[in-house]
Structure 1
Amino acid sequence: MMVALCCKVYADGRLGRASAEEIASRSGLSRYQISRGMIELRGKDIIVPVVRKTADGFRKLDRSNYGHVAQYCMTRDVWNDIELDDGK
């Protein structure tokens, strides 16, 4: 699951948005397996929803209009353990 998610990773640890269909085509997993994998990664504190700032200056978890998380990022502990390739 993590390999499929890491096809799009930004320098700050945010995971690029990917639909279940896109993840399924890359990984060969079913929608049920993807859902279960995301729940497992959240439960193990590997990924968390991105925190956004509202127009009023409040911080809230990123949600789509349908109520599900729109974008995830790796937790700080996980991101700190990853060695970044600087292209050299």
Structure 2
Amino acid sequence: LFSMSSEVEKAQHAHPTKDTIFGKIVRGEIPTEFIYEDEQCVAFHDVNPQAPTHFLVIPRKPIVQLSACTKADEALLGHLMYVAQKGLISLGAG
């Protein structure tokens, strides 16, 4: 199990210029089979699923943490939610 406080601490200390596994996935440096992709985001099955239908939808634009988002990110965040909802339906879980 993980400690929520340790996860919060990691997120609070995330550095916007450091590369992440998600950046590597978006750039194709880590081979990943996308179940969806467009100019704003990609979606793929989690490598360690915790539910029968478990996939991630991540933006192509690096976002270190949600609290760093601005009004300019509003459309992107809405798009991520829309893609997630459509993904659930297409995979028979929605």
TM-score bracket for this pair, using the shorter chain length? under 0.3
TM-score (norm 2): 0.24
**Higher helix proportion (structure 1 or 2):** 2
TM-score (norm 1): 0.24
Pick 1 or 2: higher relative contact order, CA cutoff 8 A, min separation 6. Answer: 1
